[in-house]
Amino acid sequence: MNRISWHQYFMAQSHLLALRSTCTRLAVGATIVRDKRIIAGGYNGSIAGGDHCIDKGCYVIDNHCVRTIHAEMNAILQCAKFGVPTSGAEIYVTHFPCLQCCKSIIQAGIKAVYYAKDYKNHPYAVELFQQAGVIVEHVPLEQESMDPASRDKKELVDELIKEIASLSSDQEKHQLFKEKAERLFK
């Protein structure tokens, strides 16, 4: 059995945290790591005890939900709340950090940002990370990290789609199944 890499391990953790998100617009997870140990995690959601977007809807001002605390901020604030230093740590995030989170990451002394998906990457955030000497690296989540059997599942689905194609003359239906399978295993 092959072990997953540290990058994939921590990125998988961030994707798991994103499943706790209460934001209906975008689910994001963040994991702060120091010396290969998780020191905090966060997801985007409302203040403790507050109304959540999934219950009350998003509270949008200037095209931004103000009800939500971003995953990166929640993780950084968790460190602050429990007295855990963030200086020299790394953060793994499911999506590229917004400009405000970028500034908070820099101020927290975090030395590296690893993100899985591009999301409105603000040029000024990129510039600020460079100025501060923060390493920024795109680390896409590999499905095998979350599900070791995903490759076998994809092969089985591909075989089934080929079998359907050989048994049916409905090419439109075949193409539809093929597209659905491609989206499923992205």
* pLDDT tens-place values along the chain, 186 residues long: 578 999 999 999 999 999 999 999 999 999 999 999 999 999 999 999 999 999 999 999 998 889 999 999 999 999 999 999 999 999 999 999 999 999 999 999 999 999 999 999 999 999 999 999 999 999 999 877 666 676 777 777 888 888 777 877 777 777 787 777 777 766
The pLDDT assigned to 116 comes to 97
- Spatial contact of 29 and 15, defined as CB atoms under 8 Å apart: yes
The pLDDT assigned to 162 comes to 81
DSSP string, 26-48: ---EEEEEETTEEEEEEESBPPT
The pLDDT assigned to 77 comes to 98
The pLDDT assigned to 171 comes to 78
Location of structure tokens 């120091």: 34
The pLDDT assigned to 93 comes to 98
Q: What is the CA radius of gyration of the chain?
A: 20
Taking the C-alpha atoms of residue 30 and residue 93, their distance in angstroms, rounded to an integer, is 4
Enzyme catalytic residues: 72
